[in-house]
Amino acid sequence: VLFLAYFTLQVIYARRKYKISPPETRGHPEFERIFRAQVNCSEYFPIFVSLLWVAGIFFHQGVAAVCGLLYLYTRFKYFQGYAVAAQGRLGPLYASARLLWLLLGLAVAGLLAHFLWP
C-alpha cells in the first residue's frame, strides 16, 4: 500500500510541475508516463495481493514473502524506468510478470496439496 501511495504522490507532483489539473490525463509526455505507470501498478495490485495471500496460506509464508518483496522491488523499478522512458519499463515489467506467474504456481500447488492430499 505504501508503494501505491508513493506512486500516487508522484502523479500529484507531476500534475503540479506540468500544470495538469484533474481529470485531465494528457499533457506533457513525462506526466503521461508517470500517470500510466501509476495506473498500471494499481491495476495489478489486487492480483498481486490475492496471489500473495493464497500462496502464503496454502504453500509457504516465507517463500511467498520473498516473492512478494521481489515483486514490489520490480514494480518500483518499473515505475522508475517508465517515468524516464517508455522502454525503461520493459525489463522490470517482464520480471514482475514472471513473479506473478510464480506466485500463481505456488498458490495452485498449495491449493492442490491442501484439497487433494489432506
Q: Per residue in 57-70, pLDDT tens?
A: 999 999 999 999 99
Residue of 80, 100, 101 whose CA lies nearest to 90: 80
Reported as a pLDDT band with limits 50, 70 and 90, residue 117 is confident
pTM of the model: 0.93
Question: What average pLDDT does this structure show over 9-25?
Answer: 96
**Can 36 be counted among the known catalytic residues?**
no
Full DSSP string of 21-85:
-TT---SSHHHHHHHHHHHHHHHHHHHHHHHHHHHHHHT-HHHHHHHHHHHHHHHHHHHHHHHH-
In the predicted structure, residue 46 carries a pLDDT above the cut 90: yes
From 15, 33, 75, 89, active-site residue = 89
Query: What distance in Å separates the CA atoms of residue 10 and residue 54, rounded to the nearest whole number?
Result: 31
Domain contains 2: yes
Q: Which domain holds residue 15?
A: 1-113
**The domain spanning residue 93 has which CATH number?**
1.20.120.550
User: What is the residue whose three cell numbers read 517482464?
Assistant: 94
From 16, 33, 36, 75, active-site residue = 16
Domain contains 1: yes
**Can 26 be counted among the known catalytic residues?**
no
The predicted structure's pLDDT at residue 90: 97
Query: What distance in Å separates the CA atoms of residue 104 and residue 110, rounded to the nearest whole number?
Result: 10
Domain contains 65: yes
Residue of 42, 34, 9, 27 whose CA lies nearest to 88: 34
In the predicted structure, residue 118 carries a pLDDT above the cut 90: no
In the predicted structure, residue 26 carries a pLDDT above the cut 90: yes
The predicted structure's pLDDT at residue 92: 98
Domain contains 118: no
The predicted structure's pLDDT at residue 44: 97
Domain count within the chain = 1
The grid coordinates of residue 110 equal 498449495
Domain contains 109: yes
